[in-house]
C-alpha cells in the first residue's frame, strides 16, 4: 500500500483484496464481541470542512474500537481558516497524530497534505473523489455477490465525486461499470479517459438509465446536488428527474439486483421511497460496512 489513500488510483488490486479480507475479519470479530487493540496508543485526527454523519462517526468509532483515540477537528476552528499554509499545518499535525482523515472541498489540498506530512492522509471526500466510501461499497458488493468479476454495476445520476471513485475502481478491478448521467452532468473527462485507457470497454458511459440498468447486478445512485451545490438543487431536480431509481427502472435489472446509495438519500428525488426501503436495497448493510472498512484502512495504513 502507498502511504495515503487520496484516490482509488493509488491502490493496486492486491490492496483492495487485503482491505476486503481485513474488513471481513474485523466485521466477524466485532460481531463476536472481540476487543481489538491494534491502534492502542495511536491518535487519529479528522479535519472536516463539510458536514458528515456516517464518515465522521464511523472513522471515530473505528479508531476507538481498535483501542486508539480519535480527535475531531472542524477545519473552520483551526488556523487553516485564517490562512495558515497547508504545508505548515501538515508539519504540525504530523508531530501529534498517527493518521489524518480529511474531508475538504479541494482534492489538491489533500494532495499537498500528503506530500508534506509523513503520516497517512486518508480522503474522507472531496469535490472530486470519495474513495473510502467506494471501498466499503465494493466490500458490500463482494459480500452480496461473492465476487466482483463479471458483474454489471450501474451508476445512475450525477457524474460526481462518487461516480469518479467508481470509475477509478473499474480501472483497477474486473467488473463492468455502465454510467447513465445527463449530458451536462457527465463525469470529468480526464478521470474517465484515464480509467478507460486501463479498463477499455468495461467502462461504458451514456445518458440512458434504462440501458444502464438492463440486467444490472448492482444499481448505484447518489444525491443530485452534492454538498456545495445546494444553489443548483431546483435546476438539477428538473434535469435529473428521468434518472430516478424507482420500481420501473428496477424492472429492467437482474432479478437479484442490489440497490446501493451512499446516503444521505432524498426519497422521491434520486430514489423512490419504495426502492430505498424495499427488499433489493442494501443501504443499511452498506452504511454499517463503512465502520469495518474504515477499521481495515486505519490498521493497514497505520500499522502496516
Ligand atoms: N456517505 C457519506 O459519506 O455520508 P456522510 O456525508 O454522512 O459522511
Ligand atoms: N456526492 C455526495 C456524497 C455525499 C456522501 C456529496 O458530495 O455531497
- What are the structural domain ranges in the chain? 8-129+290-303, 133-286
Q: How many CA atoms lie within 13 A of 144 on its CB side?
A: 24
d(C-alpha 46, C-alpha 32), whole Å? 28
Beta strands in the chain (DSSP E): 43-48, 69-74, 99-103, 121-123, 152-156, 176-180, 203-206, 218-221, 258-261
Ligand 1 proximity of 54 Cβ (cutoff 6 Å): yes
Report the mean per-residue pLDDT for the chain. Answer: 98
Return the residue whose CA atom lies nearest to atom 7 of ligand 1: 53
- Asked whether the domain spanning 133-286 has the same topology as the one spanning 8-129+290-303, the reply is yes
Query: Considering the domain 133-286, what is its CATH architecture?
Result: 3-Layer(aba) Sandwich (3.40)
d(C-alpha 209, C-alpha 239), whole Å? 13
pLDDT at residue 146, as a whole number: 96
Class of domain 8-129+290-303 as given by CATH: alpha beta
Distance between Cα 51 and ligand 1 center (Å)? 8
pLDDT at residue 45, as a whole number: 98
Nine-digit cell string for 163 = 461516480
Dihedral of CA atoms 102, 158, 138, 253 in degrees, nearest 10, equals 170
Q: Work out which ligand 1 atom sits closest to the CA atom of 287.
A: 1
Q: What angle do CA 223, 229, 232 make, to 5 degrees?
A: 90
In this prediction, residues 106-124 reach a mean pLDDT of 98
Instruction: Give the residue, out of 106, 123, 135, 162, with the most ligand 2 atoms within 8 A of its beta carbon, to mutate for a pocket test.
Output: 162
Predicted TM-score (pTM) of the model is 0.98
Residues above pLDDT 70, as percent of the chain: 100
pLDDT per residue over 184-243, tens digit each? Answer: 999 999 999 999 999 999 999 999 999 999 999 999 999 999 999 999 999 999 999 999
Q: Work out which ligand 2 atom sits closest to the CA atom of 227.
A: 8
Amino acid at each position: 500500500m502507498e502511504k495515503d489513500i487520496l484516490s482509488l488510483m493509488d491502490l493496486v488490486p492486491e490492496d483492495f483484496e487485503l482491505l476486503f479480507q481485513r474488513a471481513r475479519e474485523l466485521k466477524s470479530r466485532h460481531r463476536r464481541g472481540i476487543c481489538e487493540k491494534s491502534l492502542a496508543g495511536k491518535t487519529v485526527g479528522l479535519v472536516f470542512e463539510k458536514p458528515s454523519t456516517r464518515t465522521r462517526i464511523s472513522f471515530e468509532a473505528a479508531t476507538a474500537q481498535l483501542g486508539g483515540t480519535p480527535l475531531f477537528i472542524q477545519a473552520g476552528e483551526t488556523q487553516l481558516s485564517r490562512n495558515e499554509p497547508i504545508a505548515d499545518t501538515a508539519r504540525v499535525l504530523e508531530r501529534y497524530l498517527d493518521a489524518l482523515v480529511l474531508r475538504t472541498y479541494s482534492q489538491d489540498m489533500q494532495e499537498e497534505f500528503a506530500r508534506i506530512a509523513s503520516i497517512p492522509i486518508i480522503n474522507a471526500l472531496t469535490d472530486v473523489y470519495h474513495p473510502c466510501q467506494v471501498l466499503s461499497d465494493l466490500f458490500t458488493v463482494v459480500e452480496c455477490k461473492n465476487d466482483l468479476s463479471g458483474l454489471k454495476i450501474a451508476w445512475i445520476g450525477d457524474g460526481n465525486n462518487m461516480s469518479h471513485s467508481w470509475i477509478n475502481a473499474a480501472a483497477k478491478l474486473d467488473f463492468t461499470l455502465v454510467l447513465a448521467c445527463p449530458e451536462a452532468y457527465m463525469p470529468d473527462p480526464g478521470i474517465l479517459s484515464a480509467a478507460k485507457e486501463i479498463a477499455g470497454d468495461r467502462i461504458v458511459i451514456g445518458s440512458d438509465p434504462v440501458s444502464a440498468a438492463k440486467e444490472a447486478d448492482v444499481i448505484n445512485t447518489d444525491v443530485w446536488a452534492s454538498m456545495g451545490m445546494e444553489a443548483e438543487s431546483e435546476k438539477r431536480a428538473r434535469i435529473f428527474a428521468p434518472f430516478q431509481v424507482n420500481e420501473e427502472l428496477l424492472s429492467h435489472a437482474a432479478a437479484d439486483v442490489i440497490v446501493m446509495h451512499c446516503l444521505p438519500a432524498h426519497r422521491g428525488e434520486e430514489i423512490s421511497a419504495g426502492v430505498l426501503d424495499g427488499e433489493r436495497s442494501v443501504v443499511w448493510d452498506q452504511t454499517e460496512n463503512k465502520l469495518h472498512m474504515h477499521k481495515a484502512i486505519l490498521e493497514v495504513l497505520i500499522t502496516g
